[in-house]
Chains A and B, each alone.
Chain A
Amino acid sequence: MSHQRYPSTHDAVKEPHSVSLKVLRLSRPSLVTQFPLQPPLSATSVPSTGRRPPPIPASLAYDPRDLLRDGTLTDPPAVNPDPFILSPIVNLPPSFGSAYVGETFSCTLCASHDAFGSVVSSDEGDVSPPATHKTIRDVRIKAEMKTPGSGTVVTQLELIGPDSSPEDDKKGGVDLAPGATLQKIVNFDLKEEGNHVLAVTVSYYEATEVSGRTRTFRKLYQFICKASMIVRTKPGLLSATGTGKGRRWVLEAQLENCGEDVMQLERVVLDLAPGLGYTDCNWEASRSAKPVLRPGETEQVCFVVEEEGEDGKGVEEEEGRVVFGVLGVGWRGEMGNRGFLTTGKLGTRHVKPPASAVVKKIAA
């Protein structure tokens, strides 16, 4: 899965384990690309006129036809939109990819009773018949995540099984026949930049005809979580509406995609302190399309923040600062992968209106 891993030596016994652990990061599956080719491919045929023939099936992401028992081919339903580059068939994630703050990290953990005898650390190796008659019972998986800011504290991860319910600890482990796999899924919300370590512990009871023992091993998967968005904000004072209401500010923010993937902004919201309200001045207000940001591109958003009461009643102020609240940004990445982050507390220095000279100073 990840870039590095450190085999751990929990077991004093050097004998290879009968259970293997494999992991796959479950980012969204990806639509498979295709480059449809027009017949004729042969040198002798003459270009035809009239309706375009269907593309060569081998150039499509999958063969849309069905082979009937009598050897004839069916007419495909028009699901695969040739000659378009994207097809509706999906691939599992080919690699770990990049992990970004704001996204949910999903990963599947597979503990298998390796059917081909003892486990060796490499994929290479001869096919040996099952060497011993080992029975594998009571297989348990435990997963923890260590985050950069957590110090020595680790987060215990909830394991999700096929019935989508959290694992019941009292239920105990699972017995695995040769070749069988225990599959679990973990989810973790990435909130910090930096080194994360997923630690997976597998324990099982290995019984031979004459004896039995409990064995445990642990694997560490390290990955780096990066920021995918930089948020820069700037508050400014607006003149009051004159209707006798409270003060007004404009809060601008630049959202920069600093990741490596295209993202589409879904929503920007303010979560304001009591006594404040806001007007959204962005794509939802203008009913325009949601902005798409390619890597390195920036979108500017804007809100009008307004005191709901008069004369600053109910607005929290700390040492001459008006605290607005936090800005939340939600986006979707490739194949709908969700991201959401909130800023720290935003605010502005308290200014008694009308004081245009001071306003200029702040804006400068």
Chain B
Amino acid sequence: MRYLALFRVFFRTSIQTDMEYRVDFFSRIIASLLALLTTMAGLSIAFTYTSSIKGWSFPQVMVLLSVYYLMDGLIEMFIAPNMRNIMAQVRDGTLDFLLLKPVPVQFLATFRTVNIWRIVNVLVALGLSSYTIGKLSLTVGGVQALTFIVTLAAGCGIIYSFWLILVTLTFWFVRVDNIEQIIWQAFEAGRYPIEIYPVWLRNALTYVVPVAFIITVPAKALTGQIGLSYALVSVCVSAIALLLSSLFWRFGLKFYTGASA
């Protein structure tokens, strides 16, 4: 597998550059832990005043939060750093160099770097979810675990496609690097149960920015609130998203001209 080999090289060099910046390395771990902690603290303050919010108990919200955190970690680890690179490269015209490499541009551009320190997010998220599941005294059966993994993988595909589409827009509007902000703003909403939002926002978070598919569905799968049939829907949505975004990327590439041209 040539791609796998390439990916391994990318992975290794990015770990090395990350280690180069040691203060950064440690403080990032602390920073992301603290982000989780403050959200937990905020939620627990709210739950000191009530025992359930829109049908979600505190442990259930914690499971949701851990899935949010897991996704956040995966995005920051694999997707975001690459997409950021692309936006920067479009802006200063260095994407041209990528176009000259004998590897499909989409692969090269979107799997270039890995932000390894974010693995801490992933581990903490997994720890938190197992702890709260224990507290919920839920038994996670095989089907449930399978549903969770499938919906999570589908969610990864969806969020990847979503980023790719937005990044492709930079071919037309140079320096919309702040486009990333839009994604994160929408994504932020996923840390709470989407039931707390007004109907229009709930719909937007399901169909426009598919936060529901990325976070709420896997979280509900883990807490046993939905069954395997949902996973099928998620997989279909994910496949369509991947296909469309890839087509859009290729279309956009044709329009691309370096900023210096």
Q: Do A and B bind each other?
A: no
B residues bordering A, Cβ < 8 Å? none
A residues bordering B, Cβ < 8 Å? none
